[in-house]
């Protein structure tokens, strides 16, 4: 796979001096679904806006499909569709007209059959002759998606697509994303919801304070999530971990009263049974045992906390 979007040393400092992006590097592979997670003000929207040409970068370069987004903006932008976070629509316009407008704006000739398909996929076909102002919030968001898809983009940016959206629409949206992925469309979505990233993304990126802290395969993250810790409280403190327990990589607390054992729930053998046996054999008494699991949420929160330091 080759990178369809390449971001190199991207910096954006706003006029007020606020540094929204600090030397961001990012490769987005063709056909993947990338979820960008991050707290408010992390720079997610600035990153997307800069790729789409709405915000001018302070320095660095971006290319889409091998075309520089500034020097060769026509070719680059033709490939890109953007669903903005805010519901920005002209209230007096009709649904079909506004979608046609988007297609024309992106340099494509009229193709009502294609637009009909999009509107049907988004359950908007019945509303095609209605005014935007008459639609509910969820329907308006669908119109934004229809507009973004109207010119058959290869890369689709969804900026917080499910913020304030009901469960039904969220599921519809996920199905749509799945269909688009089958057509080979690359999708980048930003979200607050970690479960959303888990549900549909191939890779997960975490961004905070204008920096990408991590970008990893969801599978790799999930295995990190599968890691559990067992905290073993002892009846009496021990000076050292007995040699017979050397294979378990146990971590002894400073006061010698607690041993911590890390294991994978995903592996066939967790080693808990043998550990407990070996502890008994070594003559170590147990007061209590606790297990805890790290989640994507923990990973995320820890990353964001660390970067705040």
Binding site for another protein (CB under 8 A): 14-15, 52-56, 73-78, 80, 82, 84, 86, 88-92, 97, 100-109, 147
Please tell me whether residue 133 adopts helix, strand or coil conformation: helix
Give the nearest distance from C-beta 100 to another protein in angstroms: 8
Give the nearest distance from C-beta 275 to another protein in angstroms: 57
Give the nearest distance from C-beta 66 to another protein in angstroms: 15
Q: Considering the complex, state which of residue 96 and residue 225 has its C-beta at the smaller distance from another protein.
A: 96
- CA distances 245 to 108, 227, 284, 285, 292, Å, are 69, 20, 11, 14, 21
Please list, in sequence order, all residues whose beta carbon lies within 8 angstroms of the beta carbon of residue 62, skipping any fewer than 6 positions away: 5, 6, 7, 8, 10, 50, 51, 68, 69, 70
Give the nearest distance from C-beta 135 to another protein in angstroms: 15
Q: Considering the complex, state which of residue 61 and residue 85 has its C-beta at the smaller distance from another protein.
A: 85
Give the nearest distance from C-beta 186 to another protein in angstroms: 16
Q: Considering the complex, state which of residue 97 and residue 260 has its C-beta at the smaller distance from another protein.
A: 97
Report the distance separating Cα 242 and Cα 161, nearest Å: 54
Strands (E) located in the chain:
3-13, 19-29, 33-37, 59-64, 67-68, 80-83, 155-159, 186-191, 203-208, 211-217, 227-234, 251-252, 258-264, 286-293
Report the distance separating Cα 281 and Cα 142, nearest Å: 64
Return the closest-CA partner of residue 64 out of 72, 16, 56, 299. 72
Give the nearest distance from C-beta 54 to another protein in angstroms: 5
Q: Considering the complex, state which of residue 99 and residue 279 has its C-beta at the smaller distance from another protein.
A: 99
Q: Considering the complex, state which of residue 157 and residue 248 has its C-beta at the smaller distance from another protein.
A: 157
Q: Considering the complex, state which of residue 130 and residue 271 has its C-beta at the smaller distance from another protein.
A: 130
């Amino acid at each position: 796979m080759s990178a369809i979007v390449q971001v190199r040393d991207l910096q954006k400092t706003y006029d007020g001096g606020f540094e929204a992006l600090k030397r961001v590097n990012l490769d987005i592979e063709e056909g993947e679904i990338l979820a960008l997670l991050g707290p408010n003000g992390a720079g997610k929207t600035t990153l997307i806006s800069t790729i789409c040409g709405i915000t001018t970068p302070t320095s660095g370069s971006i290319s889409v499909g091998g075309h520089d987004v500034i020097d060769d903006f026509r070719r680059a932008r033709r490939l890109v569709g953007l669903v903005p976070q805010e519901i920005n629509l002209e209230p007096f316009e009709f649904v079909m007209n506004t979608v046609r407008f988007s297609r024309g704006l992106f340099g494509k000739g009229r193709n009502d059959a294609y637009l009909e398909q999009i509107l049907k996929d988004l359950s908007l076909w019945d509303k095609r002759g209605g005014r935007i102002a008459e639609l509910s919030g969820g329907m308006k968001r669908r119109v934004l998606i229809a507009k973004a898809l109207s010119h058959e983009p290869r890369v689709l940016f969804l900026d917080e697509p499910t913020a304030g959206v009901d469960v039904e629409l969220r599921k519809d949206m996920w199905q749509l994303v799945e269909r688009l992925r089958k057509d080979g469309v690359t999708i980048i979505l930003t979200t607050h919801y970690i479960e959303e990233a888990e549900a549909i993304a191939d890779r997960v990126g975490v961004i905070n304070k204008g920096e990408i802290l991590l970008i990893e395969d969801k599978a790799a993250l999930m295995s990190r999530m599968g890691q559990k810790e067992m905290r073993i409280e002892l009846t009496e403190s021990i000076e050292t971990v007995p040699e017979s327990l050397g294979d378990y990589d146990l971590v002894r607390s400073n006061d010698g009263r607690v041993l911590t054992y890390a294991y994978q729930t995903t592996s066939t053998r967790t080693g808990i049974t043998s550990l407990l046996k070996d502890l008994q054999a070594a003559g170590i008494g147990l007061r209590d045992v606790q297990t805890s699991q790290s989640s994507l949420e923990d990973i995320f929160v820890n990353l964001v906390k660390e970067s705040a330091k």
